[in-house]
Structure 1
Amino acid sequence: MQAAVTGFYSNSGGCGAIFEDIYVVAGKRTPFGKMTGSLSTVSPTDLGIMSSRAALEAAQVNPRDIDQLIAANIGQASADSFFLPRHIALYSGLRLEAPAVMAQRICGSGIEIIGQAAEQIGLKKAASVLAVGTETMSRFPLASYSARQGFALGRPEFVDLLWEALGDTAAVPMGQTADILAKKYGVTREEVDRFAETSQNKYFAAESAGFYKGEIIPVAKSGAFEVANLKPRKYKLKDISKDSQGVEKDEHPRMTSLEKLKSLSPVFTTEGPTTAGNASGIVDGACSVVVASGDYVRSHGLKVLGKIRGFVSVGVEPQIMGIGPAPAIRSLLGSLDMQLNDIDLFEINEAFGAQCYSVAKDLELDLNKLNIHGGAIAIGHPLAATGTRLVTTLLRSLHLKKKSIGVASACIGGGQGIAMVVEAV
């Protein structure tokens, strides 16, 4: 069998692709660090190098075999961010001739780049591709768009790009879209708080069982990436104690209770239900995935995590952007001639508890199949790195539970949704 891709599109079903004989070989990520936490001093490029080197090692793939690198990053949170994909490629050991490119679909970027990697392979433009989602949200810059024209009297005007990223100048702030969905689908504050509590509890149960050790790589408290004929890249973690070796676990998850969650005030609208406790966390981290053709996998005797069956992106009303996963999932399953009950597990990004719960209600999902090891309310949502994390976690969960078919999906600011179907192998 040869790797192949078949595209599809429609006015109502978005744009997508169906794949044959294309695989996720391995995925690895850094811990996700809390806002201004241990990883906040590390550039997204360096985080991407860490996860990429680890993913290539886990895949047992020679970096020089990789034909292309596709990176995703939203925040442009370093002075050399224009070079991010190329620098990750060079410092991860890819050959000089291998090109690198950046893609951006906001919260769906991680799934997007895996889909683009599969498309490159299906079109026979590559046999193996490295997909890298990376974000240092703590380093999102404060910008002055008028500084080059000089300042008149008064204070210069600066914009917080992190805060602005949570808004939508065409519609309403992201959190408000979740509250709109809650009202539309009749989702109560108690339901959202219980959903958030469950996300945290599932995460800690999985972490205690050692599940996340299979995808998280430890980050040393300082280090350098050295490659012949290139300047070394150095990093140092923030506020690491003298006795600590670095960071090995996610920093955002926190034990909570329904009582604590109930005590929090709504953030975006007076009636809520969105609070700081039932929304995803702002975090720093990277996750890289190795994608390859079946011919490459077989010729190199590689073990794989799973097969990529297809992916799609769709548009929705900006005011209810959070519902995006529902039409995306329906569109993709229809194109694959599958039904919702054919899906064993779902990984749907918990951008907001009210948003994810509304998607579950719309699709009438069995919550026992959803985010079984916890979601972004616990882990955090590092924008461009979320999708690669979702796919990695999903495939590992399918293997652990001895299940077959899974869906990874995310809503996207501005009014989009993205979904991918994978099969454990």
Structure 2
Amino acid sequence: MRMTALHEGVSVAEAMTNAVCPDCGQPPAEDGVRRRQRRLAAIARAASSVADEASLSVTLDVVAREVVQATHISAVQILRVEGGTMRLIGKAGFIDADDFPERFEECRKLGARMYFVESFQSQETIVVPHRKAAVMADPRWGPLHRIMGAPQWDSFAAVPLIVRGRALGVLNAFYSPGEDPSQEEFEFLEAMADQAAMAVDSADLLARSRQDAQLEERARLARELHDSVVQQVFSMRMHAKALRAQVGDAETASGDKVRLVADELLGLAQNALADLRSLILQLHPLELGGRNLIDAVRTLAESVQASSGVRIEIRAGELAELPTELAEDLYRIVQEALHNVVKHAQATKAVVSFAATGRQLTVKINDNGVGLAGEPRANALGLVSMRERAQRWRGTMEIGNTADGARVRVRLMVPYADGQA
């Protein structure tokens, strides 16, 4: 069993006295047997949910409900720590709050002490008796008072979600007034936390497996396009040039017509070749290994400039090392923005700039084109993909006109290098 840390002067022995009768030393009458049966049944149902449910949030909501139903616990939160941020992925007994992550971040900035963060970092169970009164009296917890104050609870326990020695998140249990956790209940909570950790780990493995399969398929398509279609279009262009050379400067009407056809064929082949090369660049998996984000974007800019004629300038100072997934998302955002510049802007120049202030990173893509004729389509696939990539890192993506053309601006918070929430 994981080590248990108890705070505010309460020892394990003192916590356990709440679970026995002071006269006979036995579990109180509601009886240990029935409680134990409920807990075992809850563990079994949670394990079944982990095996059967496709949605991680649905699975973890089930785990949270089973904890509430099997114990004297008023509410449960299951939090995931990923990319240095903490998000709510399962709950029971709490009001719905889509803005929980934002409110949580506000509390942290105000300096609120968060025992569940400490539990995650130390990989130990932490129990804090009579925690609600302290939370509700602390102005640093103000942004979360409405959410935390809704359930009827008193004491608090945080149990880390651990898989293969690595913490993935934390399960928070909020005990009903007058109920304090016993050692047996610690074991139950840790068993349920293990079920939640298995669900998170399985979802991660499945997502990585799907991503690997998608990347492999995209690489295969890129190779096939290059080996077949591109070569054929390249051959078309060479034939068109040869045809044009054979016609030469003939002044006959038939020669003019052949020359016109040859010119048209040459133009079509050149455009098709440029489009195919751009498509291959988008399909091919991004490999940042050995290169940082700025170097990868410079390579992209050189390719776009060579195929389109649009001059691409990169402006960037020193950037801290970014998580690979974040770097890939930013690369794809820049790639899609430059694709839109080439396709729609009628621009001769684009500037990609990176600026970091503390943990905030801003990426801008400006062009000197015709600008936007109106509001961009909200459901345009490229824009949706860019926005989702930014939101994945709790960022924003804006697109609009400037005095010289159009601009895409992305702002996000870079996670701590050590993975802290």
Bin the TM-score by the shorter chain: under 0.3
Task: Give the number of the structure whose residues are more often helix, by fraction.
Answer: 2
Larger radius of gyration: 2
Higher relative contact order (CA 8 A, sep 6+): 1
Scaled by the length of structure 1, what TM-score is found?
Answer: 0.21
Scaled by the length of structure 2, what TM-score is found?
Answer: 0.21
